[in-house]
């Protein structure tokens, strides 16, 4: 019989394959569970104390039903020995004999040794079942995940790779990888990073996370984000190094595209003859301005950061400003819009603006605008009629 600790009371799991209706306990098929209280004899033992009776027919500790069963079976001596692992119940060994006084010290010693061997066997079987269950979960993860996963021993020899990692490495089979050195799949400069940064971190902290590059068998460099950690045995000693690998090629391509776009915009922003400004949509505060706008308006960037476009706009344009704001609310853009700006020296300069509303990563609404100084055009329009006269 196997013992299983329940939430409220120990339970017994029937393991026999043949039905034997002793009258001592309910009959049932293999796997049937009963509480220990249904087996009165088991209440006489504890994890570290066996029950022994060398005259079960007269022993007052044994209940009448159990004594009747013993008499029916012709048993005069009985021993029940616990099979335990520490304080954990695993099962019991029950032995009977038709002889009175059968269980002397020598026989009890032999049965106790048998119980201890049974405990080892049952514990090993349980650990094997747990290991198989754990391996099944691990294999399910490693076989289906898109993350590359590999394991190497402490000498750097690869002992495991999952299908996703095989694809990253460009290898056709697991056999082509096992036994190779981990460093074979990294370019020389990344091997230096592994030696100087990753391995010391694994030694001191047991883990490392960061960006590296894999080198596939066809020579491709694959940008990766890798999380390495140490696998230890039950005594805490390091045994293996595991690595979870994410292919970040697409992310790097997006980052590079954004970088190139930002560089092109920055070149346009800095070299443009038009003023380019960024304002907060709600307050109108100046957040950025290129050199062309700084030269046009006479304020430094630091001074502009303390102002809003309302500070540089004559009051007579307030109705027109509200109209442009309504246009942005409806279409997301405004302009072309002609008005005047008040330069730092107080001179009013005619300008034409075009703008678009954007939202930053924090959800704040902003306005990008281009500003053209049309002083020359306005002066020319004023002079031409006089010349024509």
For residue range 163-211, what is the model confidence (pLDDT) as tens digits?
999 999 999 899 999 999 999 999 999 999 999 999 999 999 999 999 9
What pLDDT is attached to residue 180?
93
Query: Based on the domain organization, do 10 and 135 belong to the same domain?
Result: yes
Query: Based on the domain organization, do 213 and 300 belong to the same domain?
Result: no
- Between 386 and 58, the more confident residue is 58
What pLDDT is attached to residue 207?
93
Of 139, 174, 192, the residue that ends a domain is 139
Query: Based on the domain organization, do 79 and 7 belong to the same domain?
Result: yes
Average pLDDT over residues 239-255: 91
Dist CA 247 CA 184 (whole Å): 18
Query: Based on the domain organization, do 17 and 118 belong to the same domain?
Result: yes
CATH of the domain at 84: 3.30.450.40
H, E, C per residue of the chain: CEEECCCCCCEEECCCCCCCCCCCCCCCCCCCEEEHHHCHHHHHCECCECEEECCCCCCCCCCHHHHHHHHHHCCCEEEEEEEEECCEEEEEEEEEECCCCCCCHHHHHHHHHHHHHHHHHHHHHHHHHHHHHHHHHHHHHHHHCCCEEEEEECCCEEEEECHHHHHHHCCCCHHHCCCCEHHHHCCHHHHHHHHHHHHHHHHHHCEEEEEEEEECCCCCEEEEEEEEEEEECCCCCEEEEEEEEEECHHHHHHHHHHHHHHHHHHHHHHHCCCEEEEEECCCCEEEEECHHHHHHHCCCHHHHCCCECCCCCCHHHHHHHHHHHHHHHHHCEEEEEEEEEECCCCCEEEEEEEEEEEECCCCCEEEEEEEEECHHHHHHHHHHHHHHC
Query: Based on the domain organization, do 219 and 246 belong to the same domain?
Result: yes
Dist CA 227 CA 237 (whole Å): 20
Kindly provide the b/e burial profile for residues 337-364, where b requires at least 16 CB atoms within 10 angstroms of the residue's own CB: bebbbeeeeeeebbbbbebebeeeeeee
Lowest mean pLDDT among 122-131, 292-301, 345-354: 122-131
Edge-to-edge strand ranges of the sheet holding 348-359: 286-289, 275-280, 365-373, 348-359, 333-342
Strand pairing of 221-232 and 2-4?
unpaired
Interval 303-341: pLDDT, tens: 999 999 899 999 999 999 999 999 999 999 999 999 999
CATH of the domain at 312: 3.30.450.20
Residue 64: which domain range?
Answer: 2-139
Domain count across the chain: 3
Domain membership of residue 351 (yes or no) is: yes
pLDDT at 161 exceeding the cut of 60: yes
- Between 362 and 342, the more confident residue is 342
- For the chain, the distance separating the N- and C-terminal CA atoms, rounded to the nearest angstrom, is 122
Q: pTM above 0.85?
A: no
- Name every residue whose Cβ is closer than 8 Å to that of residue 252 and which is 6 or more positions away in sequence: 223
Query: Based on the domain organization, do 367 and 331 belong to the same domain?
Result: yes
Q: Using 50, 70 and 90 to split pLDDT, how confident is the model at 348?
A: very high
Taking residue 223's Cβ as centre, other Cβ atoms within 10 Å add up to 17
- Verify cis geometry, omega within 30 degrees of 0, for the bond prior to 116: no
Q: Using 50, 70 and 90 to split pLDDT, how confident is the model at 384?
A: low
Average pLDDT, the chain: 83
Query: Based on the domain organization, do 245 and 280 belong to the same domain?
Result: no
Interval 22-61: pLDDT, tens: 444 445 554 444 454 555 666 667 767 788 888 888 888 8
Of 80, 106, 139, the residue that ends a domain is 139
Domain membership of residue 261 (yes or no) is: no
Query: Based on the domain organization, do 100 and 159 belong to the same domain?
Result: no
CA dihedral defined by 108, 111, 116, 118, rounded to 10 degrees?
A: -160
Range with the largest mean pLDDT of 129-138, 150-159, 250-259: 150-159
Q: Using 50, 70 and 90 to split pLDDT, how confident is the model at 389?
A: low
Question: Looking at the chain, how many residues does it have?
Answer: 389
Query: Based on the domain organization, do 128 and 221 belong to the same domain?
Result: no
Query: Based on the domain organization, do 120 and 69 belong to the same domain?
Result: yes
What percent of the chain lies above the pLDDT cut of 70? Answer: 83
What pLDDT is attached to residue 76?
85
- Between 104 and 121, the more confident residue is 104
Residues β-bridged to residue 12: 3, 34
Query: Based on the domain organization, do 91 and 180 belong to the same domain?
Result: no
């Amino acid at each position: 019989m196997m013992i299983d600790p329940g939430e409220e009371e120990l339970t017994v799991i029937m393991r026999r394959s043949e039905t034997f209706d002793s009258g001592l306990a309910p009959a049932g098929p293999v796997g049937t569970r009963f509480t220990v209280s249904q087996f009165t004899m088991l209440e006489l033992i504890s994890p570290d104390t066996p029950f022994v009776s060398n005259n079960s027919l007269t022993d007052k500790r044994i209940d009448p039903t159990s004594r009747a069963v013993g008499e029916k079976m012709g048993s005069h001596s009985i021993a029940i020995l616990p099979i335990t692992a520490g304080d954990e119940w695993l099962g019991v060994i029950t032995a009977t004999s038709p002889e009175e006084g059968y269980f002397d010290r020598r026989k009890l010693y032999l049965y106790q040794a048998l119980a201890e061997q049974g405990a080892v066997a049952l514990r090993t079987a349980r650990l094997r079942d747990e290991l198989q269950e754990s391996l099944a979960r691990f294999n399910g993860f490693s076989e289906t995940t898109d993350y590359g996963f590999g394991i190497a021993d402490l000498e750097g020899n690869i002992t495991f790779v999952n299908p996703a990692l095989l694809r990253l490495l460009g290898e056709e089979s697991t056999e082509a990888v096992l036994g190779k050195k981990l460093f074979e799949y990294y370019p020389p400069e990344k091997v230096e990073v592994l030696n100087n940064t990753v391995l010391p971190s694994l030694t001191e902290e047991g883990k490392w996370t960061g960006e590296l590059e894999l080198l596939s068998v066809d020579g491709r460099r694959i940008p990766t984000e890798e999380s390495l950690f140490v696998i230890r045995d039950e005594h805490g000693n390091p045994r293996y190094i595991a690595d979870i690998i994410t292919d970040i090629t697409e992310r790097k391509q997006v980052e590079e595209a954004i970088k190139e776009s930002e560089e092109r915009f920055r070149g346009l922003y800095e070299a443009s003859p038009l003023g380019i400004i960024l304002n907060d949509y709600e307050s109108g505060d100046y957040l950025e301005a290129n050199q062309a706008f700084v030269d046009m308006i006479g304020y430094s960037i630091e001074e502009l950061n303390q102002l809003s476009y309302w500070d540089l706009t004559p009051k007579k344009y307030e109705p027109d400003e509200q109209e442009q704001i309504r246009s942005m609310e409806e279409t997301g853009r405004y302009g072309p819009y002609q008005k005047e700006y008040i330069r730092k020296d107080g001179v009013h300069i005619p300008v034409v603006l075009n703008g678009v509303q954007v939202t930053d990563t924090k959800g704040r609404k902003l306005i990008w605008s281009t500003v053209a100084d049309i002083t020359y055009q306005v002066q020319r329009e004023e002079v031409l009629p006089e010349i024509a006269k």
